[in-house]
């Protein structure tokens, strides 16, 4: 209950404080490329319950087709994708999207997920059903025992520099050691990481 009250207070306060930034990001997305401003992606939440995770759209509308074409034609890129589930040089991402991702501004709409109760300010990052099945495996019940977080330990410690296996270890560490003090420290570290990004792309 205490963590939920903390999440509600933080998300509401940050939505008010970041409103001008929110509007500027929305305008940048709308004016830079075709498609919707927001993107809702199905993720797995607390106790395996699915929800739509909100973000500012950072990719072109034909992103999935581009990805499949890219993976089919380049073994090295396929290996990178299978290791990190991300690409350092991703042709699907728009120019504005690259800037939003660099400073994690694309994830500002997830404050609404926190306010709704789908997510927490801090916790294991939300995963897709495929990621839960193929990467969490036997640890899925433990990690899904908490609401997914807007930020997490591996986000502030290097973000995309970690492999999927390393991320799972950090998520498990958080579940075992979470506390109000740790949450507060990680939120402050996230703010610093947004200003001085490390490992983001």
Alpha helices, DSSP H, located in the chain: 2-17, 19-32, 63-73, 75-84, 95-102, 110-116, 129-131, 140-143, 153-156, 164-177, 180-195
Q: Does residue 120 carry a pLDDT above 70?
A: yes
Query: Model-level pTM?
Result: 0.85
- In this prediction, residue 123 carries a pLDDT of 95
Structure-block tokens of residue 84: 């990190």
- In the numeric block, the tokens 């506390």 are attached to 179
Residue with the bigger pLDDT between 185 and 90: it is 185
- The answer to whether 144 and 119 have CB atoms below 8 angstroms apart is no
- In this prediction, residue 201 carries a pLDDT of 53
Q: What is the mean pLDDT of the chain?
A: 89
- In this prediction, residue 130 carries a pLDDT of 87
Query: What is the rounded average pLDDT of the residues 166-190?
Result: 92
pLDDT tens by residue, 153-171 = 988 887 767 888 888 899 9
Q: Which letter does DSSP use for residue 93 in this model?
A: B
- In this prediction, residue 200 carries a pLDDT of 60
- In this prediction, residue 102 carries a pLDDT of 87
Neighbouring CB atoms inside 10 A of 16's CB total 9
**Alpha carbon separation from 176 to 140, 143, 154, 170 (Å, rounded):** 14, 10, 15, 10
Which of 27-31, 48-52, 98-102 bottoms out in mean pLDDT, i.e. has the lowest? 98-102
């Amino acid at each position: 209950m205490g963590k939920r009250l903390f999440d509600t207070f933080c998300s509401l306060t940050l939505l008010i404080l970041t409103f001008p930034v929110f509007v500027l990001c929305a305008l940048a997305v709308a004016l830079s490329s075709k498609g919707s401003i927001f993107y809702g992606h199905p993720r797995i939440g607390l106790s395996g319950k699915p929800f739509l995770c909100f973000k500012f759209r950072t990719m072109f509308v034909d992103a999935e087709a581009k990805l499949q074409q890219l993976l089919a034609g380049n073994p090295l890129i396929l290996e990178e994708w299978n290791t990190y589930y991300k690409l350092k040089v991703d042709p699907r991402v728009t120019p504005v999207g690259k800037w939003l991702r660099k400073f994690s501004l694309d994830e500002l709409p997830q404050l609404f997920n926190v306010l709704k109760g789908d997510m927490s300010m801090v916790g294991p990052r939300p995963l897709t059903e495929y990621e839960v099945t193929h990467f969490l495996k036997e640890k899925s019940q433990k990690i899904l025992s908490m609401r997914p977080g807007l930020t997490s330990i591996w986000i502030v410690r290097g973000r995309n520099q970690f492999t999927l296996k390393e991320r799972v270890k950090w998520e498990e560490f958080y579940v075992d050691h979470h506390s109000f003090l740790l949450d507060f420290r990680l939120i402050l570290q996230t703010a610093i990481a947004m200003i001085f990004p490390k490992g983001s792309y």
